[in-house]
Amino acid sequence: MAINTDVVGATSEPRQRTWTSTDALLYALGVGAGMDDPTGAELEFTTENTRDITQRVLPTMAVVLQASGLPLRELGDVNLAMMLHGEQGITLHRELPTEGTLESSSTITGIWDKTKGAVVDVEASTVLAGTGEPLFTTRASLFFRGEGGWGGDRGPSVTVEIPESEPDVEITYQTRSDQALLYRLNGDRNPLHSDPQFAADGGFGTPILHGLCTYGFTGRALLHGLCDGDPARFGSMDARFTSPVMPGEALTVRMWRTDDGAQFRTHGSDGRVVLDAGRFAVA
């Protein structure tokens, strides 16, 4: 059965999610916060009881806090095993609290024919439960291999011209060999990131790092490189996934300042681009 293109605009039922201070600490550790931190600059993200320090939350935790289920069942009889995470974006409407209850709903905003596959764009809006105060918006582009070719619109194309000059800011973080095992405790238990045989069946020599873990490492670099480590200044972040990352690799984030923030790109240990077309805005 071909993908159902009539479901653009379909919205999931609102769902709630409660999180705690411990969840925020676990997410921070999952994206490398606190590693090689001799000055204690990230203690506000990794501890809740350090003298004279108030706990805060890394902005990219929004990608795991989102509570709504994607309305993908509306797409018809598509093979979810053929789905790839193409792009991810977040916009923070306020600093994330260290605990609370939120409510999210997701909407399919576009379905595009890329000939060899279909791209499904999804946007989720999240508010604080009880008050309705906007908390964050997330955006994702999902690529379904083998679902294109119906002669539909190819959709918009976002071109980000990364400068050829040396970056204004460059930060390298080392991931751990067990980084995926730690990050999966935030909720993504896909065995591709933990089971060697499952990874081998997918064509990988070892389990790979979650794309959103790479996204979180990149977000930390943007936070410290462009916002002086202040989550209240973190506005929005969008990027395209271009290559899987293996746990234990070093990730280098290169940033070129713009009038409202920066363009960025993330490289793996061997120099290949793993996150591309990065756009960041300061709040």
**Which residues are the active-site residues?**
188, 193
DSSP string, the chain: ----GGGTT-BPPPEEEEE-HHHHHHHHHHTTTTTT-TT-TTHHHH-S--TT------GGGHHHH--PPP-GGGG-S--GGGEEEEEEEEEESSPPPSSEEEEEEEEEEEEEE-SSEEEEEEEEEEEETTT--EEEEEEEEEEEET---SS------------SSPPSEEEEEEPPTTHHHHHGGGS---GGGT-HHHHHHTT-SSPPPPHHHHHHHHHHHHHHHHSTT-GGGEEEEEEEE-S---TT-EEEEEEEE-SSEEEEEEE-TTS-EEEEEEEEEE-
